[in-house]
Chains A and B, each alone.
Chain A
Amino acid sequence: MTGVERIPILKIGDVLLASIQVDLQDRDVLALQEDLAEKISATGAHGVVLDISAVDIVDSFIGRMFATIAATSKLFDAHTVVVGMRPAVAITLVELGLTLGEVRTALDLEKGLAILAELGEQAPR
């Protein structure tokens, strides 16, 4: 048995960034969900960016993680953006029939941060 692979979570301003660089086992996915929830509540971050530019497949389990992270973040008044989805992954997701729920997507990190900044301005606090 190998252990849980923990995805590092960086804080940039009031946004949390998690870059997925490895082929995730289901238990790594669950660990990331929990780590992000804790970190959002601890830091009061207003946004979460999931960078999946290095991810070569997204199946229903990983797709559900995106939706769960978005729903959890929302409870803490934070928005979630998935950035860097590869074209082959996007095509496959559509055919698989997966919808990402409330999850926003953006081409790259810069555009993702711009979306979060915009959402933050719409709902000032």
Chain B
Amino acid sequence: MTREDIPIVADEDVVRVRQVVRSYAQRAKLSLVDQTKLVTATSELARNTLTYGGGGSAVVELLGEGRRQGVRASFRDDGPGIPDITLALTDGWTSGQGMGLGLSGARRLVDEFDLDTAVGRGTTVTVTKWSR
């Protein structure tokens, strides 16, 4: 299997995302540090999907590009969207009770980061990490 869909509707789904991403990262032969970075980033994004997006789903994929392998994880919700992306990506900014580190920290922990959001329609965040 090179692709997995994971619904995110409850606490335990965040744990499930971490486990699936970990196993894909191992299959892509990411280093232990890179596995840890990717799993941590996806844990943040899955929790955001649950907390702010009102639930949604994740897609985890194994990528192959020549000799390079990678893992891509995409988090989608049909929640309220993010009105100010710059603000949301600022370290320490939170609209809730968080530490405002999830999005900005996740961006630092991965190789590719894409944020697609529209107010009233939802949010999709996609992250990719490649083996070196």
Interface residues of A (CB under 8 A from B): 1-2, 23-27, 56-61, 63-64, 86-89, 91-92, 95-98
Cα distance, A26 to B8, chains bound together (Å): 14
Kindly list chain B residues whose C-beta atoms are within 8 Å of the C-beta of A63: 99
Report A-chain residues with C-beta under 8 Å of the C-beta of B18.
23, 57
Report yes or no: A92 in contact with B109, Cβ–Cβ below 8 A: yes
Chain B residues in the interface with A (C-beta under 8 A):
10-12, 14-15, 18-19, 22, 32-33, 35-37, 39-40, 43-44, 47, 91, 98-99, 101-102, 104-106, 108-109
User: Are A25 and B39 in contact, with the CB atoms below 8 A?
Assistant: no
Task: Find the A residue at minimum CB distance from B36.
Answer: A88
**Distance, CA A64 to CA B100, complexed state (A):** 11
Q: Is the CB of B105 within 8 A of A96?
A: yes
* Known A57-B36, A57-B43, A92-B36; further 8 A-B contacts with Cβ < 8 A: A60-B99, A63-B99, A87-B33, A88-B36, A92-B37, A92-B40, A97-B101, A98-B105
Distance between B9 CB and nearest chain A CB, rounded to angstroms = 11
A24's nearest neighbour on chain B, judged by CB, is B15
